[in-house]
Amino acid sequence: MSPKQVVAAADPYFPNNGDHRFHAHRYELTLDYRPGPNRLAGTARINAIAGVGAPLREFALDLADFRIGRVLVDGRAAHYTHRAGKLRIKPAKAPAAGAAFTVDVHWSGNPKPVRSPWGGLGWEELTDGALVASQPVGAPSWYPCNDRPSDKASYQISVTTPSAYSVVTGGRLLTRTTRASATTWVYDQPAPTASYLVGLSIGVYRPVPLTEPHGGGVPQTGYVPARLQPQFEHDFARQPQMMALFEELFGPYPFAEYTVVVADEELDVPVEAQGLATFGTNHVDGARRFERLVAHELAHQWFGNSVTISGWQHIWLNEGLAKYAEWLWSERSGGPSAHHKAEAAYRQVTAFPQDLRIGDPGRRLLFDDRVYERGGLTVHALRVALGDDAFFRMLRGWATLNRHSVVTTADFVAHVARSTDRPVGDLLTAWLDRPELPPFPVRTPPPPPAAPLRAAPATRFWLRRPSGS
């Protein structure tokens, strides 16, 4: 646990989510789900560490409206209250400052989305199955968690559900066991994962491998409604090439595998989760019309999932870099150049009011188009200012130095400053911290070549030594 995770203040956009008095580092979730009645029963074993300073007399988990069976801390029944999405727990014996402890919670009920300004978040019951799309604060709709993006943990998730359904999460499938008419799927995700990025899909899906089973590289699999398999195979055929490109540009893929689900439902937008992305049937048309979204979701595995923002005000770091990855894929796959894409985005952003600071857009405008488009433009402005060599070194360094870590916009600004000897502070301030749109980035002509050194007069002088010496 980095000190940053302990001392960070509550998220300014979602001050009620998460608890900084402790750090959860592993969740073991055992779930039983019946799709028909949409009934979920779960037990969670959470391994955690108390914050420094004082014994942990009280702490809170985020959990929506469920019936609580019991709550144990270090195996002993704890006193708790459960109100307004907060499970407040008073251990029988307070864990000492900095000490490891465990929490067990049993809960059950009918999961439903958490209400938000962007519609329902989290657990979504589908016509036949369910999916989870939690960004930014939907995770408590289905399991008890320390719901702040900076509190990353490893996960083991076991789901038992009728055998006709597939269960998909990001992570490695450890076992799949069928007893009577139910099947238990056990997945493990050892990489540090933010609660909003714990994904889950339950549905009638066909697995479609996108890579050779033993072909080397990152294993990639789709789970799709059988009728969409041909369209899916066409639309996602270039994903392995995207993976290769992004590994070249951003460094090694941060997880063991990558899974995409096409949920059997239309979705407004695809959503990223750890090692996983979920698309809607409307994003698959057999004509690759949505390929930019395939690139966008894959890029989030580096920007957002591995390198995670410590608070939601830094959202442009996720979306601006994923947007720019779309443009890089276009440029490197025979489509329009990133510069051309940036010009189009600039025209688009020009038409919007210039009243948003993307470096801190405010909770209501967290997912505003300008965060994405101007975010991509900010990255492009840096590329133009730094030049390709320094820019791509900077970008790869950002993803690899901060792999599986937690960052802020200030960290990014400092990283860029370290990556170049050109002054970029004013440029980043203009793009991130001011509402007015800066001029479109154009390459300044390189400085005229330095005049040839008035070549080594000393040498010549020395050569013109007096004859005879």
How many angstroms separate the first and last alpha carbons of the chain?
Answer: 73
Q: Which is nearer to Zn ion, 185 or 372 (CB)?
A: 372
DSSP summary character for residue 113: P
Longest dimension (CA), the chain: 108
CA dist 446 to 120, 205, 229, 338, Å?
51, 55, 51, 20
Structural contact between residues 298 and 242, judged by C-beta atoms closer than 8 angstroms: yes
Q: What number of other Cβ atoms are within 10 A of residue 241's Cβ?
A: 12
Query: Which one of 82-90, 124-132, 149-157, 314-322 is the stretch in contact with Zn ion (CB under 5 A)?
Result: 314-322
Indicate the Cα dihedral angle 63, 65, 66, 68, nearest 10°.
70
Nearest distance from residue 135's CB to Zn ion, in Å? Answer: 9
Torsions phi, psi of 113, nearest 5?
A: -65, 150
Query: Which one of 99-107, 163-171, 319-327, 398-406 is the stretch in contact with Zn ion (CB under 5 A)?
Result: 319-327
Give Cα 252 to chain centroid, integer Å: 16
Query: Which one of 35-43, 217-225, 246-254, 317-325 is the stretch in contact with Zn ion (CB under 5 A)?
Result: 317-325
Query: Which one of 5-13, 97-105, 318-326, 448-456 is the stretch in contact with Zn ion (CB under 5 A)?
Result: 318-326
Nearest distance from residue 296's CB to Zn ion, in Å? Answer: 6
Residues in the interface with Zn ion (CB under 5 A) total 2
Query: Which one of 100-108, 315-323, 349-357, 363-371 is the stretch in contact with Zn ion (CB under 5 A)?
Result: 315-323
Q: Does 6 help bind Zn ion (rule: CB under 5 A)?
A: no
Beta strands in 163-279, from DSSP E residues, in sequence order: 166-168, 172-179, 182-193, 200-203, 206-209, 220-224, 258-262, 271-273, 276-279
Q: Which is nearer to Zn ion, 319 or 411 (CB)?
A: 319
Q: Does 322 help bind Zn ion (rule: CB under 5 A)?
A: yes
Q: Which is nearer to Zn ion, 272 or 411 (CB)?
A: 272
Q: Does 273 help bind Zn ion (rule: CB under 5 A)?
A: no
Query: Which one of 187-195, 210-218, 320-328, 452-460 is the stretch in contact with Zn ion (CB under 5 A)?
Result: 320-328
Structural contact between residues 114 and 140, judged by C-beta atoms closer than 8 angstroms: yes
Q: Which helix (H) or strand (E) segment is 141 a member of? A: none
Neighbour-count burial of 262, counting CB atoms closer than 10 A to its CB (0-12 exposed, 13-18 middle, 19+ buried) = buried
Q: Which is nearer to Zn ion, 21 or 292 (CB)?
A: 292
Give the position of tokens 């801190």. 360
Q: Which is nearer to Zn ion, 91 or 320 (CB)?
A: 320
Q: What residues between 123 and 142 interact with Zn ion by CB under 5 A?
A: none
Nearest distance from residue 146's CB to Zn ion, in Å? Answer: 23
How many CA atoms, within 13 angstroms, populate the side-chain half-sphere of residue 112?
8
Q: Does 78 help bind Zn ion (rule: CB under 5 A)?
A: no
Q: Which is nearer to Zn ion, 352 or 367 (CB)?
A: 367
Query: Which one of 72-80, 138-146, 321-329, 461-469 is the stretch in contact with Zn ion (CB under 5 A)?
Result: 321-329
Q: Which is nearer to Zn ion, 197 or 427 (CB)?
A: 197
Q: Which is nearer to Zn ion, 317 or 386 (CB)?
A: 317
Single out the residue of 188, 264, 374, 293 nearest to residue 35, CA to CA.
Answer: 264
Nearest distance from residue 371's CB to Zn ion, in Å? Answer: 9
Q: Which is nearer to Zn ion, 35 or 149 (CB)?
A: 149
Nearest distance from residue 120's CB to Zn ion, in Å? Answer: 18
Nearest distance from residue 300's CB to Zn ion, in Å? Answer: 6
Nearest distance from residue 233's CB to Zn ion, in Å? Answer: 24
Q: Which is nearer to Zn ion, 104 or 272 (CB)?
A: 272
Give the position of tokens 């688009």. 348
DSSP summary character for residue 170: S
Enumerate binding residues for Zn ion (CB under 5 A).
319, 322
